[in-house]
Structure 1
Amino acid sequence: MRGSDLMDPHGPAHLPRRRVLRATAAAAGSLPLVSALTSCLNLGVEGSPHGPLDVLYLGDATQQQSFNQLFDAFREAHPDIELEARGIAAPNWGTFANTVATQIAGGKVPDVVQVATEGQRLFASKGLMEPLDDYIANDRALVDAYFADVDPRLRDWTETYSSTDGRTYYIPGGYNTAVLYCNTEVFEAAGVDLPAREWTWEEFRRAGVLIKERTGAFLIPLGFGFPFIDIMPWLLTNGASTLNSTWDEGTFDSEGAVEAAAFVKGLIDDGLSPRPGGTFDAVGQLRNNALATLGGGRWPTLDVRRLDMLDRVRIVSWPVNAGHGSPVGWDGWPILKASQKKEKAWTFLTWLMSEEASVFYARNGGSTVPARNSVATGAPFLDQAPPGTEALPEAITYGTPIPSPERGSEVQDAINQGWQAAITGTKPVREALESANERLGGLL
């Protein structure tokens, strides 16, 4: 909705470092899901035509509270449709997917399931979802009005990357891009100005050196387990990526990727980041002025609100080397082919496309950027958010979908392990990325 994310399965205290993007977070471990779901469908497991409309989504207790408010608004708008919305507080999208598969295997078939970017092509390729083309044709005016208010890239990406046969399986929902949340008190204490518009990698590094010398605070927490924030922004701001634009060839060993990994390794070697792989509490350290910046999408705003830090945080775009870049991940809302309540499910999807739903979610703790531009650039989204929040919807204009091929879990493992070896010094940077890229070639 990815973040891919994207809902966070951990509590708010874990949002920045252990985030699994709601729209765009990793779908690691999703292969068992596909096997289980396909088996269930082949066995003729179907949902019941009776009872409430069953909607599954990924979310912890905090996000479930926000979603429950959204679903209550749907029930008020459609009192004739009984809705059962179930949030699964899984640690990642793969676990969420396997939980869904287990429930289906036990005979409880949902009607609608939230799917992050990373799982959309995989699920569609296995025949798990109902094609939505006829529904869209029957409600053309409503759907066209929705997409008229959505960045055209989001529609194009959904058509290009979320289907393998040209049919439509998902209605795209909220999305996430990558920005930096900056503690203004730390920058002020170090006598370092935040950029008015953009800054370069080198300017970012120099700021970190001064901050470390003058305040002792870290510049940024760097890692290797969450590509949406740990890897992709550095690659994309240097004209590189993990895969090519059609997701069928690895590009993880390009000169731009090697340069990006070497730069990140240098930040770690210079002590401007805590050593990756530990239990660094990024939110707590940001609050305690021991951390200057934190990478994220919309979701850290929830912590900033919770900790009453709106007057201490400013959002800026990611520092650049070759040029602006950001990963993009979004929610996809499909109807399961096995659903026996497809018309009610479509009514639910059309309501999610409404301005009412978008405004409601933006105002009530949503952790993604609303797909509707009018909402993403308006008060419902920008109020009660850090200054600079407009950088989130702006980033989709130069963003790139996070690569999500069908064998996504194995691809992500290769990418994570290669980046880990590169930035921690287990292998020389170029060797680490070349080795990872060779693995990618065998998977694609």
Structure 2
Amino acid sequence: MVTRRDLLRASGFGAIALAAAPLIAACGGTDSAASSSDLTLTYLGTADQQQVWNKLFTEFQRKNPDIKLKATPSPVDNWAAYFDKISTQLAGGVRYDLIQVATEGMQLFASKGLLHPLDDLVKANQAPLDDFLADAHPNLVKWNKQYGSPDGKTYFLPGDFNTMCLWFNKEVFQKAGVEAPTNEWTWDDFLKAGRTIKQKTGAFFYPATAEYFIGVMPWLLTNGASTMSEDWKTPTCDSPAAIEAAEFVRQLVAEKLSPPPGGSFDRFTLAVQGKLATFGGGRWPIVNIRQQNAVDKFGIVPWPKKVGQGSPVGWNGIPIMKSSNKPEKAFEFLKFLVSAEGDAFFAKLGGTVVPARKSVADSQGYLDDSPTGTENLYAALDYATVIPAPPKGNLIQRDIEDTWGQILAGNTDPAGGMKKMQEKVAANV
């Protein structure tokens, strides 16, 4: 369940359409205070995202008319900023029953003792949860248990998720006479195609960025590298494979196959216009692409590989706060999210995440009006790696993004930059 700065910029983490029904019109705003009887939730959401979430909230309210939900969005531009904001609010006395927490912040919040353990509530609701767990990908269930708790207690239910694949404009490739990407594409294939498309069409090939989930991890993982060890105890940023990945992406910038890093541009619109051949994404670009009536222009394939297939994965978790005096009501919302009906409802809306349930991910409600290869997003769970996010993950993310950005801009060489990244990450492990 997704981040991830580009997920949010320019509707990047997905944008959803249409305003909420009057039943919960207050859910999208922050002006009116919640009463003591309200079930309160805060989540990361741009204006477009708020519109989609509000539709989900409306459906929950329809199913649970006795529970009044008050949801407050935080329209910040990345998960680290969101976690900083929520942490500051909590320290200042603001109280929520539920908060949205992506993988990047699970240990951050759990390690501070802020969350209500779900174990007893899970036992009391075993049948519907067993149905969900039987339908979810086993890796998602395993990872949620492995990385979602510092003490063995259950704080999160595995939710909808995002992996990273390569979205490409079929027409740009056809115009340049370049064969479309395949599931077996390599870094060499990627570079060769980019040079040809740049030469024949003038289009940029791929936007190199410093976003941790989007622009850094896919390149590391497809070269057998990562920012940290599997247990998130040891930084591995300066391994030869990690340095090689940084060198490769810097080369894309140096050859002007990428727009200049650090600038403000809407990758989705550029891609629709044929000015950009590919971009990385999970499920979140779908709303923007649909809004521009461009679904048929695009295909989705696994990330090009050097050593092997790789993708980061992060999922949506909504824990109950320890300070909540309504844990049973809060758990009703969690049950709704993981139910077949709730998961299918959000997927049909054009939700910005991949359904956790395999049955929903295989359904026409999810796959209709989506690019060819959409199934590769769920299939990536077979080989994905959880985005490293130890308790100080918000600080680590900032250091990784800042340093990778300096490498892309040519302000430091890849080897020296990755060594600096190693030192910064080590200081916060």
Query: Are positions 1:184 and 2:170 aligned together?
Result: yes
1:201 Cα offset (Å): 0.4
Question: Could you say what secondary structure the match of 2:335 adopts?
Answer: helix
Query: Are positions 1:170 and 2:156 aligned together?
Result: yes
Q: Is the 8 A contact 1:418 1:436 kept in 2?
A: yes
Given the two structures, how large is their TM-score scaled by the length of structure 1?
0.88
> In structure 1, what is the equivalent of residue 363 of structure 2?
378
Count the aligned residue pairs. 412
1:144 Cα offset (Å): 1.3
Question: Could you say what secondary structure the match of 1:171 adopts?
Answer: coil
1:221 Cα offset (Å): 0.5
> In structure 2, what is the equivalent of residue 311 of structure 1?
296
| Counterpart AA for 2:415 | R
Alignment partners' CA distance in 1, 2:423 and 2:328? 46
- Quick one: structure 1 residues 105 and 180, their matched pair in 2 at CA, closer, same or farther if it must change by over 3 Å? same
Larger mean CA deviation between 268-277 and 361-370 belongs to: 268-277
Taking the TM superposition and a 5 Å limit, the aligned residue runs for 1:325-336 are 325-336=310-321
| Counterpart AA for 1:156 | K
Query: Are positions 1:144 and 2:130 aligned together?
Result: yes
> In structure 2, what is the equivalent of residue 440 of structure 1?
425
- Quick one: structure 1 residues 51 and 107, their matched pair in 2 at CA, closer, same or farther if it must change by over 3 Å? farther
| Counterpart AA for 2:133 | F
Q: Is the 8 A contact 2:3 2:78 kept in 1?
A: no
Q: Is the 8 A contact 2:136 2:357 kept in 1?
A: yes
1:60 Cα offset (Å): 1.6
| Counterpart AA for 1:265 | R
Residue from 247, 253, 262 that aligns with 1:268: 253
1:11 Cα offset (Å): 4.4
Query: Are positions 1:351 and 2:331 aligned together?
Result: no
Alignment partners' CA distance in 2, 1:258 and 1:240? 9
1:251 Cα offset (Å): 0.7
Q: Is the 8 A contact 2:10 2:266 kept in 1?
A: no
Query: Are positions 1:366 and 2:351 aligned together?
Result: yes
- Quick one: structure 1 residues 8 and 234, their matched pair in 2 at CA, closer, same or farther if it must change by over 3 Å? closer
> In structure 1, what is the equivalent of residue 239 of structure 2?
254
Q: Is the 8 A contact 1:421 1:429 kept in 2?
A: no
Query: Are positions 1:214 and 2:200 aligned together?
Result: yes
Residue from 292, 308, 323 that aligns with 1:323: 308
1:106 Cα offset (Å): 6.0
CA deviation profile, 1:311-345 (whole Å, cap 9, x unmatched): 11111111001000000011111100101111100
CA deviation profile, 1:279-336 (whole Å, cap 9, x unmatched): 2331221122111001111111111101100111111111001000000011111100
Q: Is the 8 A contact 2:14 2:352 kept in 1?
A: no
Alignment partners' CA distance in 1, 2:10 and 2:427? 37
> In structure 2, what is the equivalent of residue 2 of structure 1?
2
Given the two structures, how large is their TM-score scaled by the length of structure 2?
0.91
Taking the TM superposition and a 5 Å limit, the aligned residue runs for 1:229-308 are 229-308=214-293
> In structure 2, what is the equivalent of residue 63 of structure 1?
49
- Quick one: structure 1 residues 258 and 95, their matched pair in 2 at CA, closer, same or farther if it must change by over 3 Å? closer
Alignment partners' CA distance in 2, 1:438 and 1:116? 25
1:102 Cα offset (Å): 5.2
> In structure 2, what is the equivalent of residue 34 of structure 1?
none
Question: Could you say what secondary structure the match of 2:40 adopts?
Answer: strand
Larger mean CA deviation between 192-201 and 356-365 belongs to: 192-201
Residue from 108, 128, 134 that aligns with 2:120: 134
Alignment partners' CA distance in 2, 1:4 and 1:201? 23
Alignment partners' CA distance in 1, 2:328 and 2:120? 11
1:438 Cα offset (Å): 2.2
Taking the TM superposition and a 5 Å limit, the aligned residue runs for 1:73-222 are 73-101=59-87, 103-104=89-90, 108-222=94-208
Which sections of structure 2, spanning at least 5 residues, go unmatched? 16-32
- Quick one: structure 1 residues 49 and 297, their matched pair in 2 at CA, closer, same or farther if it must change by over 3 Å? same
Larger mean CA deviation between 278-287 and 299-308 belongs to: 278-287
> In structure 1, what is the equivalent of residue 24 of structure 2?
none
1:247 Cα offset (Å): 0.6
Q: Is the 8 A contact 2:8 2:78 kept in 1?
A: yes
The root-mean-square deviation of aligned C-alpha atoms, in Å, is 2.1
Question: Could you say what secondary structure the match of 2:258 adopts?
Answer: coil
Alignment partners' CA distance in 2, 1:426 and 1:20? 32
> In structure 1, what is the equivalent of residue 20 of structure 2?
none
Q: Is the 8 A contact 2:14 2:286 kept in 1?
A: no
Q: Is the 8 A contact 1:247 1:405 kept in 2?
A: yes
Q: Is the 8 A contact 1:242 1:250 kept in 2?
A: yes
Larger mean CA deviation between 317-326 and 101-110 belongs to: 101-110
CA deviation profile, 1:98-137 (whole Å, cap 9, x unmatched): 4434554665421111101111001000100000011111
Q: Is the 8 A contact 2:224 2:241 kept in 1?
A: yes
CA deviation profile, 1:142-181 (whole Å, cap 9, x unmatched): 2111111111111111111111111010112110000111
| Counterpart AA for 2:202 | G
Question: Could you say what secondary structure the match of 2:161 adopts?
Answer: strand
Alignment partners' CA distance in 2, 1:364 and 1:253? 42
Alignment partners' CA distance in 2, 1:415 and 1:123? 20
CA deviation profile, 1:224-261 (whole Å, cap 9, x unmatched): 1x111111000000100000001111111111111111
Larger mean CA deviation between 153-162 and 99-108 belongs to: 99-108
Which sections of structure 1, spanning at least 5 residues, go unmatched? 22-46
| Counterpart AA for 2:274 | N
> In structure 2, what is the equivalent of residue 410 of structure 1?
395
| Counterpart AA for 2:170 | T
1:92 Cα offset (Å): 2.3
Q: Is the 8 A contact 1:8 1:60 kept in 2?
A: no
Taking the TM superposition and a 5 Å limit, the aligned residue runs for 1:14-93 are 15=12, 19=13, 50-93=36-79
| Counterpart AA for 2:60 | F
Question: Could you say what secondary structure the match of 1:396 adopts?
Answer: helix
1:422 Cα offset (Å): 2.8
